[in-house]
Structure 1
Amino acid sequence: MKINSLFSFAISFLLSTQLFAFQSKDFSTKTNNIRNSVVGEINHKPILFVSELSESLAAYSLEGKELWNYKIDQPSVIFEIIAEDINNDDNDDLLAVAGNGIVYCIDSNGSLLWQFTPDHKVRLSEIAVVKNGDKIQIFAGGNDYQLYEIDTNGKQVSSTKIAGVVRKIETGVFTDSGKQSLFLMTYSHDKFRWEFMGILDADSKQVLKEVSIKKKELKALTKTMVTDIAIADINNDKKDDILFFADNSFKPFFSALDADFNVLAEYAGNKKQVQRYAHSQGSFLASRNEIMFQHGGVLIVLDTKGKLLNTGGERYGKGVYSDFVYEPKSNQLIGAGTVDGGNNVDFFNLSKDNWYKTTHKKQGRMLAVEQNLTKLYNQILEYKTPSYQKKSNKDFVMITKNGASDKVEKLDGGNVKFVIQKSPKEATDRTYLVNKIGESALKKDKRGKYQDSREQIIQMARDYEAEGQPFTFWAGHGNDPFYIQIETLEQILEVAPNTCYGFVYAEMDNVEDPRVQYFVKEYLPRLAKAIRKKNRAKLYFRYKNMFWAATTHLPLWKDVFLSGKYSDFLVPASEDTSNRTQDLNLAGRIGMKSGGYINDFAMRLIDDNPTSWRPLTPGGQNSVSPYLRQGVMMAAYGARYGIVSTSGFVEEPGLDILFAMMKSGVLPVVENEDILSIGSWHLIKDVDEKLIHTVDNHHNIKQYKKDDENAIFSLAQMHWAGTNIPDNDFSKIALGVKYRWLNYMPEIPNGMVAIAPIESAKELSEKNIPFSISNSKQGFSNNEFVSAKKYASELKKIVEMGAKRLPILVKGAAWSAIKIDENHTRIILMDSGYIEPQERDVTIVFQHRKPKSVQDILSKENLIVSKSQMDVKVPAGSLRFIDVTY
């Protein structure tokens, strides 16, 4: 026995030392982007499990061999994966939980063992496994205030009522008993603090320990946005600790709490590390007794007391990973995926003291995207407008601190006016405002200092006029509509008639706010009068949620945006990058412009985190591809203005590619009558105010209702972010959207369905254009409102009728068709995956008119039409521009 034991030990030692010395080579997966990664073991070898954002799960050897790939049903955000041996075969299986409300258990061989979902609609986002002896308990939670226990056969054991929406469930040894229990953290606010944080007994579900947000020692933690949580025993007391990786006003923050919620370690970053929506991801490195986390481009290494040991990378650096996982057997740290859509797997050798300085070459999907965009840019720079394309006498107007490169400026197929934006905040006394609307007039935005006098602001405008510098001022926000007061605005327009391009307002959606009411009733008429003297300045309104599809139909806003009173200078924009209903806002703005209610709308390209529930978001993207394609989609439906500011993360040439499209004429200024891809319309009658308020109240995530899915604009509240949407939903039926997350560029398989007020019904009827009607929650049929589920078939029929009347129909990509002249149409095709770039197989159908020829205007490739259709490919993360000659 002793000899056998010694022999076994020797073999084990040799194997372990071989593994310890093993250094994997970086590779890319066959999947699309990687959101989650976790290590496990199959046949006693370390394995990397990964998940895409929304569609598949996969297993890879550390050498990069794909072992299996499993496609989930009902695409939605796959929020978390964990590796555990569920069926006791000594191989790790994969558990995954998705926004579609399903828990998946995938066998180590890649087949489905089982799946679980509650008996009602729920968005599940967190999962954990408790193992005590031979007993295995699986726990999942999401937005319906329940903690679900599932057995190893996928059957529900129990559900326990909890307070708040689940932010995190983790397993660990948190008590002296040595047994595993559950760490539970829930939120009621979309970003900060917690509703409940404590330890639960896995059997009884009783609270063993709990900590209040009022605990003095945790004050710093309550003010951070926690973006990652890990469990590890960092103080060697045989009890697990809780590691929080967070964002504090865009600075990195780390805190470690012991099982009694005492602070063990804390690290607060400095101003030099500030990066917008960098979003920290981290891990405990047991072999080095170190803590690492990446905050944007900066990689931070701490000791277990929170002392800074080393940093790598750089501020706004490249290669921002989606996830990190520590692999102990090979002593490697794995960086998996990138937040802009990467499918790369990169290794850090932890046996090296300078491991944090390791650099990795771009590979896989994002290398392909980079190459595709480089090719696109070079082709645009060589493009010459054809004789049949006339140059527009209108400018694209881009509000941005960045102009175009010299290469782009030389292009002459279109005009782009670059306008700077400044944000002075006026310190003028507000007594007269208080007398008009009360003490609320004194509320100010905490994000800025009110230190500019009226005279100083007017002088800024006067100086810009003298310099010939086009400018806008950010003049108000929902936190304070009066950054700049009306008398100052009027004088700015007087002293800068040629260079003032207007004023920006953001998030002033609350119709009950007396400040908003005063702005609408007093400011707008005076601004209209002042602006119309010179007819150049515009008011740019930035709103998110589903403002442009629904909230604008409330009486106060309807009078502003849909009455025609101010159509000449209102420019709707949308903060889509922190919104789960981007598709609705796009359809709403297209309907406003194409319906004649406004003259212009704006693309809003900004580096806000692109999801909706911010702690679960990806961070700032290195690739310009998402911003570029979003901008083109809006311009292709008539957006002539842009409020543009990509982050420091974005690589060159950045939005120069977009500006090149505009300057070259590849992307023309699009007039209403030129759009040939609006199939049908959806009209809003007596909009449902209750539905709107639940969506606009986006910081409150405790709003779950079982019937949220029974609406035309369904599951749009914050707590549904990432979920799949039902068959009765407008976004799914009309726009081809599958889930509430990143839908800037819906595929619109039946053409665009524009959203407009009921007042458009008469004109559409006269033109025999099909339209559907709802109040945003219920459909309107046979002169009465009916449930969304009952209305779904009628909505589908109307949308399909609209598709049949289009001259061109596209399947497989986001698209637009634009009339260049009577015999030429430009089809714009876009990879529709915002941070899921991939090559798209596209079918174009010509329905009523046979083309004479079809050509890719950039590659000059002549395309073949067979039986009134053709198949083309759109490169990953890129676009194609195709001209049809009749």
Structure 2
Amino acid sequence: MKKIACLLLVLFGLQNTNANSGIKSIETDYTIMKVRVMQYKNTTKIIGTSYEGTVVCYDYSGKLQWKNKLSGFMNNDIYCADIDKDGKDEVLAPNADGNIYCLDDDGKLLWKFRQNSAPLLSATVVSDGTTKYVVCGGYDKNVHYLTTTGKLIKSIPSTSYSIEKKFKNHAINYLRTVQQNGQEVLVVLSAFNTNYDQGVLYYFKPLEDKPYQFAKMKGKGGGGSCPGTFAINDIIPGNTEILLGGNGLNKLQVSVASVEKCSAEKMNFRFNNERTDLGKVGYRLASAEAVPYKNSFKYYVLFGSRMFLVAPEKNGEATEIIESNYAFNDMCKDANNQKILLASAQSGGSCIHVLDYTNNDWKKDFEKLNPPGKIAKILMNTSDFSKKLRKFKTPNWESQKVTVKVMSSGLEKEEINALARENSKNLVIIEDVRKLYPHVENWDRSEMENKVSRETRDHRKKYDLTSNQAFSSFKKGLDASGTGIQYWQGHGRDVYFYSLPTIKRVVDYAGDKTVIPVFAELEQHDADIEWMVEDFMYPLASYLQGTNSFISMRNKHLFWQSVVYTPAWKRLVSGEFPDAFVSSMEESNSKTMDMSISGRMGLWAAGSMNQWGARFTRDNPCYDRLRQLSYQKVPNHALRMFVHQIASGASVVHNTKVNAAYQKVLWDMIAKGILYVPTRNEIVSFNPVHVSMLTPDSLFLERNHVKDVTIYDADFEKNNPMVISRTTGVFAGAPVTKWDFSNYASGAKERRLEFLPSYTNGMVLTTPPTDKNSKRGTLESHLHPIYKNNTKEFFTDGRNYYSDVAKTKTYKADEYYTTVKKAIEEGAQKMPLTVKGRVAWVTAQTAPKHLRLTLVDGGYVNPDDRVATVTFHTAKVKKIINLLTNEEVKFNSEKATIIVPCGLFVFLDIELKKAL
């Protein structure tokens, strides 16, 4: 009973509530992304904003004061200030939908302001004497001054004051106010690029058009230098500092800017071993605050799951490191109450954590913190699932035909062997070639005709191996593995890490074992790429065709719906090498995952490739590197993504090891067979409508830029409606248009982390155009018999729709989408079933009278209990069984309602009265 009582305390948010705790956790039932404090006369209240954009207010006892769902889109910032001088703060929420929302102290909407469709990133309040102004800005590159009732006073374009020679303008990364010489001034932090830009601090007197001073960050910009957090240290009078936390893979950078001196330099951390002290490799965003200490202060820097306590003096105390079990979405200081507030844990948490930095116990409490609420629920649900999985027996009518090849499982040799004994037919694990990275072959490229291929090198690699030395490493890897090896063959422009003769030698030596060359980020679509593909990629593919080896192409953004349809890749799309190419993704910083799945599955279903792949890496949850939150310690988001994509037929899985003990449940599911992997002709959840991609329109190709944040153009957006739109970096988290593929097909409402898309009317594939003379065959020839003579094809180049491949008639995206949408809805009626709810789903036929329905909690980083409504169309159902629990599910002839547990999935067997 004691254990049950403790579990209930954790689940319902009552952990760490005794008076002596250094940390208290407030359960909100939301994934809290940002935290702030607001003043309510003589008291302080906690403000949070959720993943969905809901603003919540709590008091320090943990009691909810109010909440407001606003627009349903994310708030990029929260700022609290008393703008009407009644002693109670209002709340400003600059939103991804382009609005700034102003809420009163009770959470009621006072007003909103919107200048255009560009997401707003930041807001503040500045005073000019007794007059106050609301100031906001973002990706439209303007500083907007508003009255305290939301009326526009003036806009200051960044082109009018930017000092950068390379850029004519910049996005508004942050807006805040500081005191200088007794006067309040506005500080603007610029941004040009989300990956290689440190920005400039501009100081403005209220309402003035030009800054009176500015501070550039010292040093060259590089990966990990972009500021994503902004805090002010005013503990010591006359020594005000601005603390800017940078982003990065394994690089901790905090810039400290002196307001009075108008200077900026990097914080000195004084580590013993920087790589070890930073913790395990992963993409993180630093948050910094200054906390009083003796007669001075210390910087508290949150970076991933570690808190660094840094002395400001150059010869001060060594940096102290306190490590938690979790990383958190945000941190802010409440100076009045001597507290640090932490937003929810990045692994799907739902709490606001209150750290009392005056309490000597806070450090040990931080180290052992296990958040209540959804984190506890996810762990409990996964544990319960694993226990029940041990008793699972594959139904006797199921016979899985597909073997899943897992690249980098993270498992130890003994665990790999145990899984092979469980079911080697279902699962094969292929590991890296050890001790090879970062060494690659140094071979003679001088005779290459193409200058780019001849001269390009990856700066992260050491070109220091002979062919024999490289082959020796590959040979050792193959000798140590019973299944095969995978390795990096190229990145970006340089695909020549190892010469073709060396790799042919390796493939020959491998015999029946698998060799997987990985190519990452082949995004370009120019003549140089065309030359490279013909010189290296296709000869390699030709050599691999007919072997057990294949190429894994790990490409970003919209590659599988745009670049793959450019001239360089025509032979791939044609089906000339269906066994030699496998699609995968480098999802970092992408915003179009729902379409990535459609594109990869479309090429597989059409016969261009006979396998398709899925990949997880640490920065998958990043949709905007300026706010990079990608250090999940419990990779539940990856688990659910893999379950959905493998259940959809993905048979090549590239995994980055994070918490291997937790991830092991996935490999167990594949080996045991509860995660059924269908062939393409077993899937019956494809919508009969498919959208065929023609040669991409140039504007569609150009909109693949996700790191440049200075390209928003209101006139362009108004005058160029696109079938696939708002894909650039300036639309991170923004609403999709009503005529966008994501809206009418996948059910996505925004450009953010749609790894688990709903596709309520069934998966709408994006495919090559039907060509009966193609080597790949026709789409219908590869699909389930229910699709024979039953598919409907639409044509697009990403910008417009067309009547046919020849583009005889052109249809505008914002007009013709209703025709496509209607066809998809009508097509759904011809399917066995469809599913509504915030779930990802897939249906496959496992026997003449049996369907496998897989349902997955669709909240990627905001998991929750989900309600899935299954509607039956052509399927005449006899019985539904939950395969994990063996329990019968209630239904009627038309519908069934299924609860998908938080962070989990449900596997159903649907027995039919008669075969499809």
Name the Cα RMSD after superposition. 2.5
Q: Match of 2:662, SS?
A: coil
Of 335, 346, 349, the residue aligned with 2:342 is 335
* Larger displacement relative to structure 2 (466-475 or 684-693): 684-693
- Correspondence 1:101 to 2:112: no
Cα gap change, 1:123/1:550 in structure 2, threshold over 3 Å: closer, same or farther?
Answer: same
Residue aligning to 2:227? 226
Are 1:147 and 1:160, in contact at CA under 8 Å, matched by a contact in 2? Answer: yes
Residue aligning to 1:746? 757
Are 1:265 and 1:305, in contact at CA under 8 Å, matched by a contact in 2? Answer: no
Deviation at 1:745, TM superposition (A): 0.8
Q: Within 2, Cα distance between the matches of 1:525 and 1:329?
A: 65
Are 2:22 and 2:362, in contact at CA under 8 Å, matched by a contact in 1? Answer: no
Residue aligning to 1:251? 251
- Correspondence 1:283 to 2:269: no
Residue aligning to 1:788? 813
What TM-score, normalized by structure 2, do the two folds share?
0.88
Equivalences for residues 169-184 of structure 1 within 5 A: 169-173=174-178, 175-176=180-181, 178-184=182-188
- Cα deviation, 1:420-472, whole Å, max 9, x if unaligned, reads 12355666555444542126522211112222221011112223333344201
* Larger displacement relative to structure 2 (132-141 or 590-599): 132-141
Counterpart of 1:329, as a letter, is: N
Say how many residue pairs are matched: 850
Deviation at 1:528, TM superposition (A): 3.1
Counterpart of 1:548, as a letter, is: W
Residue aligning to 1:15? none
Q: Within 2, Cα distance between the matches of 1:609 and 1:818?
A: 27
Q: Match of 1:604, SS?
A: strand
- Correspondence 1:876 to 2:902: yes
Q: Within 1, Cα distance between the matches of 2:248 and 2:767?
A: 40
Residue aligning to 2:831? 806
Of 698, 703, 711, the residue aligned with 1:690 is 698
Q: Within 1, Cα distance between the matches of 2:22 and 2:662?
A: 33
* Larger displacement relative to structure 2 (460-469 or 132-141): 460-469
Counterpart of 1:819, as a letter, is: Q
Of 747, 757, 776, the residue aligned with 2:798 is 776
Q: Within 2, Cα distance between the matches of 1:766 and 1:858?
A: 33
Cα gap change, 1:866/1:523 in structure 2, threshold over 3 Å: closer, same or farther?
Answer: same
Of 655, 662, 687, the residue aligned with 2:670 is 662
Are 1:734 and 1:753, in contact at CA under 8 Å, matched by a contact in 2? Answer: yes
Of 836, 859, 878, the residue aligned with 1:833 is 859
Deviation at 1:46, TM superposition (A): 1.2
Q: Match of 1:474, SS?
A: strand
What TM-score, normalized by structure 1, do the two folds share?
0.91
Deviation at 1:781, TM superposition (A): 4.6
Residue aligning to 1:168? 173
Residue aligning to 1:547? 559
Deviation at 1:865, TM superposition (A): 0.8
Q: Within 2, Cα distance between the matches of 1:266 and 1:426?
A: 33
Equivalences for residues 43-54 of structure 1 within 5 A: 43-54=41-52
Residue aligning to 1:11? none
Cα gap change, 1:222/1:261 in structure 2, threshold over 3 Å: closer, same or farther?
Answer: farther
Of 598, 603, 616, the residue aligned with 1:605 is 616
Cα gap change, 1:729/1:233 in structure 2, threshold over 3 Å: closer, same or farther?
Answer: same
Q: Within 2, Cα distance between the matches of 1:763 and 1:541?
A: 22
Cα gap change, 1:564/1:656 in structure 2, threshold over 3 Å: closer, same or farther?
Answer: same
Q: Match of 2:121, SS?
A: strand
Equivalences for residues 471-620 of structure 1 within 5 A: 471-512=485-526, 514=528, 516-532=529-545, 535-557=547-569, 559-620=570-631
- Cα deviation, 1:716-766, whole Å, max 9, x if unaligned, reads 011211111111110011000011011011111111101002236976697
Counterpart of 1:698, as a letter, is: V
Cα gap change, 1:760/1:378 in structure 2, threshold over 3 Å: closer, same or farther?
Answer: farther
Q: Match of 1:339, SS?
A: coil
Residue aligning to 2:393? 384
Q: Match of 1:703, SS?
A: coil
Q: Within 2, Cα distance between the matches of 1:481 and 1:189?
A: 26
Are 1:426 and 1:485, in contact at CA under 8 Å, matched by a contact in 2? Answer: no
Counterpart of 2:791, as a letter, is: I
Are 2:21 and 2:362, in contact at CA under 8 Å, matched by a contact in 1? Answer: no
Q: Match of 1:653, SS?
A: helix
Cα gap change, 1:390/1:43 in structure 2, threshold over 3 Å: closer, same or farther?
Answer: same
Deviation at 1:879, TM superposition (A): 0.7
* Larger displacement relative to structure 2 (92-101 or 300-309): 300-309
Q: Which runs of 5+ in 2 are unaligned?
A: 1-18, 160-168, 773-777, 781-786
Residue aligning to 1:17? none
Q: Match of 1:26, SS?
A: strand
Counterpart of 1:342, as a letter, is: G
Are 1:426 and 1:452, in contact at CA under 8 Å, matched by a contact in 2? Answer: yes
Q: Within 1, Cα distance between the matches of 2:779 and 2:408?
A: 38
Q: Percent same amino acid at aligned positions?
A: 20
- Correspondence 1:202 to 2:206: yes
Deviation at 1:219, TM superposition (A): 4.5
Are 1:24 and 1:63, in contact at CA under 8 Å, matched by a contact in 2? Answer: no
Q: Match of 1:411, SS?
A: helix
Are 1:477 and 1:506, in contact at CA under 8 Å, matched by a contact in 2? Answer: yes
Residue aligning to 1:34? 32
Q: Within 1, Cα distance between the matches of 2:99 and 2:903?
A: 29
Residue aligning to 1:193? 197
Deviation at 1:335, TM superposition (A): 1.6
Cα gap change, 1:425/1:105 in structure 2, threshold over 3 Å: closer, same or farther?
Answer: closer
- Correspondence 1:358 to 2:365: yes
Q: Within 1, Cα distance between the matches of 2:113 and 2:568?
A: 46
Are 1:593 and 1:638, in contact at CA under 8 Å, matched by a contact in 2? Answer: no
Counterpart of 2:756, as a letter, is: M
Cα gap change, 1:546/1:478 in structure 2, threshold over 3 Å: closer, same or farther?
Answer: same
Q: Within 2, Cα distance between the matches of 1:766 and 1:853?
A: 27
Cα gap change, 1:526/1:222 in structure 2, threshold over 3 Å: closer, same or farther?
Answer: closer
Deviation at 1:167, TM superposition (A): 4.7
Q: Within 1, Cα distance between the matches of 2:83 and 2:592?
A: 37
Are 1:546 and 1:695, in contact at CA under 8 Å, matched by a contact in 2? Answer: no
Are 1:172 and 1:240, in contact at CA under 8 Å, matched by a contact in 2? Answer: no
Counterpart of 1:338, as a letter, is: A
Are 1:430 and 1:442, in contact at CA under 8 Å, matched by a contact in 2? Answer: no
Counterpart of 1:535, as a letter, is: T
Are 2:432 and 2:486, in contact at CA under 8 Å, matched by a contact in 1? Answer: yes
Cα gap change, 1:223/1:867 in structure 2, threshold over 3 Å: closer, same or farther?
Answer: closer
Are 2:134 and 2:147, in contact at CA under 8 Å, matched by a contact in 1? Answer: yes
* Larger displacement relative to structure 2 (494-503 or 683-692): 683-692
Counterpart of 1:556, as a letter, is: A
Q: Within 2, Cα distance between the matches of 1:222 and 1:857?
A: 46
Residue aligning to 1:6? none
Q: Within 2, Cα distance between the matches of 1:264 and 1:744?
A: 38
Q: Match of 2:78, SS?
A: strand
Residue aligning to 2:638? 627
Cα gap change, 1:522/1:106 in structure 2, threshold over 3 Å: closer, same or farther?
Answer: same
* Larger displacement relative to structure 2 (270-279 or 668-677): 270-279
Q: Which runs of 5+ in 1 are unaligned?
A: 1-20
Residue aligning to 1:138? 134
Deviation at 1:34, TM superposition (A): 0.5
Q: Match of 1:537, SS?
A: coil
Are 2:453 and 2:532, in contact at CA under 8 Å, matched by a contact in 1? Answer: no
Cα gap change, 1:845/1:165 in structure 2, threshold over 3 Å: closer, same or farther?
Answer: farther
Q: Match of 1:670, SS?
A: coil
* Larger displacement relative to structure 2 (277-286 or 34-43): 277-286
Of 364, 369, 375, the residue aligned with 2:378 is 369
Counterpart of 1:121, as a letter, is: S
Q: Within 2, Cα distance between the matches of 1:222 and 1:262?
A: 22
Residue aligning to 2:8? none
Equivalences for residues 708-747 of structure 1 within 5 A: 708=717, 710-747=721-758
Cα gap change, 1:551/1:668 in structure 2, threshold over 3 Å: closer, same or farther?
Answer: same
Counterpart of 2:825, as a letter, is: E
